[in-house]
Amino acid sequence: MKPFVHKLSISIYLIIILVTIVSLTYIGLSFYRLPIEERFYSPLYQQLKPSGFFGHGLGILGSFIMLFGLFSYMIRKRFQIFSRIGVLKYWLEFHIFMCTLGPIMILFHTSFKFGGIVSVGFWSMAIVWASGIVGRFFYLQIPRTIEGRELSLLEVQEIKEKLDIELLEKYNINFSEISTDKISHLKSISKSISGKDYRKIKRLIRNEEKIVRRIARLDKMKNLFNYWHFAHLPFALIMIIILIIHVVVVSFWLGYKWIF
């Protein structure tokens, strides 16, 4: 994917999420702000209650979007036969988008009223969502290939060596010598080189510093990321089990059918 197309897709994701939050709030704010006992008398009650046409629809659509974002990523990541369909890190961005949009719709489906066993499912979903943000941070700390595969320490060291060589051969700069006082070193060489080269050197040094920092904490981050999966996954599982029970109870026991 070209950088422009990538930026465009992220912007579209953000716009869809913002438009959804703003329009759902605009439509229902006066209803959601009412105390539970007064809601029944609101003209919006029939539409916006969790079993109403709009509220129920949000529950179904939101759950579908979230589960699609979840399983599409898992399938793409785990099954070799799908490895050619798109780059994994873009699938993760799609996962984050769908698993944010879906829970927002589900939040409006509950009409901000949490009761019964399904509230455990709701809070599990909230925990998975929040832990996702922490996991995304760890994920970004681990150097990867463009495809999204984690690099080994050896591979990261090779990248550092390449940067070392580029700085030395092209600009006669030894990274290990300048790393203690970069600013004054850069200032001193800035007089003898063009502005374009200066910017290039600055970028190379910044990249190398980033790599050095990442090498220093690579093991720690990989361990933390592995442990993190043990928090993210079980809550996702609890949420799915309760979601299945909830759907069975409301559809088969209580008999809510939405439009079907």
For ligand HEM, the binding residues (CB under 6 A) are 50-51, 56, 59-60, 63, 66, 70, 73-74, 77-78, 92, 95-96, 99-100, 103, 106, 109-110, 113-116, 118-119, 121-122, 125, 128-129, 132-133, 135-136, 139, 232-233, 236, 243, 246-247, 250-251, 254, 256
Residue 6 or 160: the one with the smaller Cβ distance to ligand HEM is 6
DSSP one-letter string for 26-51: HHHHHHHTS-HHHHTTSTTHHHHSTT
In whole angstroms, give the CA distance from residue 115 to residue 94: 31
In whole angstroms, give the CA distance from residue 82 to residue 210: 32
Contacts for 77 with CB less than 8 Å, ≥ 6 apart: 88, 91
Residue 100 or 178: the one with the smaller Cβ distance to ligand HEM is 100
Residue 125 or 178: the one with the smaller Cβ distance to ligand HEM is 125
Q: How far is the CB of 158 from ligand HEM (least distance, A)?
A: 23
In whole angstroms, give the CA distance from residue 60 to residue 247: 9
Residue 73 or 175: the one with the smaller Cβ distance to ligand HEM is 73
Q: How far is the CB of 94 from ligand HEM (least distance, A)?
A: 11
SS3 call for 71: helix
In whole angstroms, give the CA distance from residue 239 to residue 128: 9
Nearest to 77 by CA among 154, 69, 7: 69
Q: How far is the CB of 220 from ligand HEM (least distance, A)?
A: 17
Q: How far is the CB of 116 from ligand HEM (least distance, A)?
A: 5
Residue with smallest beta-carbon separation from ligand HEM: 132
Residue 55 or 178: the one with the smaller Cβ distance to ligand HEM is 55
Backbone angles phi, psi at 229, to 5 degrees: -55, -30
Residue 81 or 183: the one with the smaller Cβ distance to ligand HEM is 81
Q: How far is the CB of 72 from ligand HEM (least distance, A)?
A: 11
In whole angstroms, give the CA distance from residue 218 to residue 224: 10
Residue 67 or 212: the one with the smaller Cβ distance to ligand HEM is 67
Q: Tell me if 229 sits within 8 A of 131, measured CB to CB.
A: no
Contacts for 102 with CB less than 8 Å, ≥ 6 apart: 62, 63, 64, 65, 66, 67, 69
Q: How far is the CB of 243 from ligand HEM (least distance, A)?
A: 4
Q: How far is the CB of 28 from ligand HEM (least distance, A)?
A: 15
